[in-house]
Every structure is written in structure tokens, then in C-alpha cells.
Amino acid sequence: MYSEKVMDHFSNPRNMGEIENASGVGTVGNAKCGDIMRMYLDIDEAGLIQDVKFKTFGCGAAVATSSMATELVKGKTVQEALLITNKAVTEALDGLPPVKVHCSLLAEEAIHAALWDYAEKNGLEIEGLSKPKTDIHDGEEEETYE
């Protein structure tokens, strides 16, 4: 069902983890549709993305697109990162099954959300960047099993 690239990124995700005191953190998606992506960016004073990490709750495609998105973002400038589209992520993975294309949209949104957080923290205005949706818990507060 998945391409070899997707399986590779799912099995060996690149840049999985957290960054403490990250320059920007963005969380997108919602539990209802079953995918939540969180992206951490470490951006230096020149606006270059030095490091990136992700955490994802989701299917194989969601994990693979998160992983691929971090690879595409790393070493880019903020402006360059903003231009990374879901199409670019999908193509870099040699395609996704049609029902999974929404996962790649999530990857694009996660980059934008992290950049938005970075801009807010630093009082910057990044051209072409709008406020991300923040609906990850969909308003439900649930008890855990234990």
C-alpha cells in the first residue's frame, strides 16, 4: 500500500523527538481524524533553521510525512521553509495513497504553525504566514485509562 520511501521514513523516522526551549513549536491536526503532528524548530539569529524535531500521533503516512517534512525544512531559511508545500512532501515520499493525502497537508500546516509560534515569540511578521488552526483536542477533555 505504501511506497518504499514511506515505509523507510515510517520505520526509521528522521528527527523524531523534542527540542527544549525551541524557537517555535506548532501542533496541528486533531484526535478526531486520528492525526496530531507537533513540530519543533530551532532558528538562529540569521533566520536559518538549525534544527528541527517532530512528534506525531497518527498512521504510517502521518509519521512518514512528518519525518520527510523535517528533512525538507532543516537548513532552510524561514522564507524557504514557508514555501514547502504538501505536494513537495508527497513527491519526496514517492507519493501517498489517495486517502492519505490529508496527512501531507498536516505536515505543511505543522511547519506553518511552528513558524507562527516563532514569529509571535519574537514579535516578527512573516510575509505570507497566517495564524494556524488550533483544534487539536477538539474541545474534549478525556480521562485516561489508568
Partner 1 sequence: MNQNNQGKPFIYFDNAATTKTAPEVVEAILPYYTEFYGNPSSIYTLANESRKAVTLARDTIANAIGAEANEIYFTAGGSEADNWAIIATAEAYQTKGKHIITSAIEHHAVLTTCEFLEKKGYEVTYLKTDEYGLINLEELEHAIRKDTILISIMFANNEIGTIQPILQIGEIAKAHGVLFHTDAVQAFGQIPISVDEMKIDMLSASGHKLNGPKGVGFLYIRKGVKSRSFIHGGQQERGRRAGTENVPGIVGMGVATKRALSIMDLKIKREIELRDYMIQKIEKEIPFSRLNGHREQRLPNNVNFGFEFVEGESLLIKLDMEGICASSGSACTSGSLDPSHVLLAIGLPHEKAHGSLRLTLSEENTIEEIDYTVDKIKVILEYLRNMSPLYEDYKKKNS
For partner 1, the closer CB: 73 or 103: 103
- Please list the residues that pair with 48 across neighbouring strands: 77
Q: At what angle do helices 4-11 and 60-73 cross, to 10 degrees?
A: 80
**In the numeric block, which cell numbers belong to residue 91?**
513527491
Cα–Cα distance between 39 and 23 in angstroms, integer?
11
For partner 1, the closer CB: 30 or 47: 30
- Mind telling me the catalytic residues? 33, 103
- Asked if 39 and 110 touch (Cβ cutoff 8 Å), the reply is yes
For partner 1, the closer CB: 128 or 139: 139
**Residue environment code for 33-44, b if the CB has 16+ CB neighbours within 10 A, otherwise e:** eebbbbbbbbbe
| Residues within the interface to partner 1 (CB under 8 A) | 7, 10-11, 13, 16, 18, 27, 31-38, 55-63, 99-100, 102, 138, 140, 142, 144-146
